[in-house]
Structure 1
Amino acid sequence: MADIADLANEQADYHLQVALGRHKRQGAKPSADFCVDCDDSIPLRRQQSVPGCETCISCQELRERCR
Structure 2
Amino acid sequence: MAGGWAEDGAVQKQIDDTVDDAIAQARSQLHHGESAEFCVECDEPIPLARRQALPGVIYCIHCQEARDKQQFAASGINRRGSKDSQLR
Q: Distance in 1 between matches of 2:28 and 2:54?
A: 14
**Amino-acid identity (%):** 37
Aligned residues between the structures: 63
Q: CA deviation at 1:35?
A: 0.4
Matched letter for residue 21 of structure 2: Y
Q: CA deviation at 1:41?
A: 0.4
Q: Which structure shows the higher helix fraction?
A: 1
Partner of residue 48, structure 2: 44
The structure showing larger relative contact order (alpha-carbon pairs under 8 Å, at least 6 residues apart) is 1
Q: Distance in 2 between matches of 1:59 and 1:21?
A: 19
Indicate which of 40, 57, 63 corresponds to 2:61.
57
Q: CA deviation at 1:10?
A: 1.7
Q: CA deviation at 1:17?
A: 2.7
Whose radius of gyration is greater, 1 or 2? 2
Matched letter for residue 19 of structure 2: A
For structure 2, list consecutive stretches of 5 or more residues without a partner in the other structure.
Answer: 1-6, 72-88
TM-score, normalisation: structure 2: 0.61
For structure 1, list consecutive stretches of 5 or more residues without a partner in the other structure.
Answer: none
RMSD value over aligned CA atoms? 1.7
Partner of residue 22, structure 2: 15
4+ residue runs over 4 A deviation: none
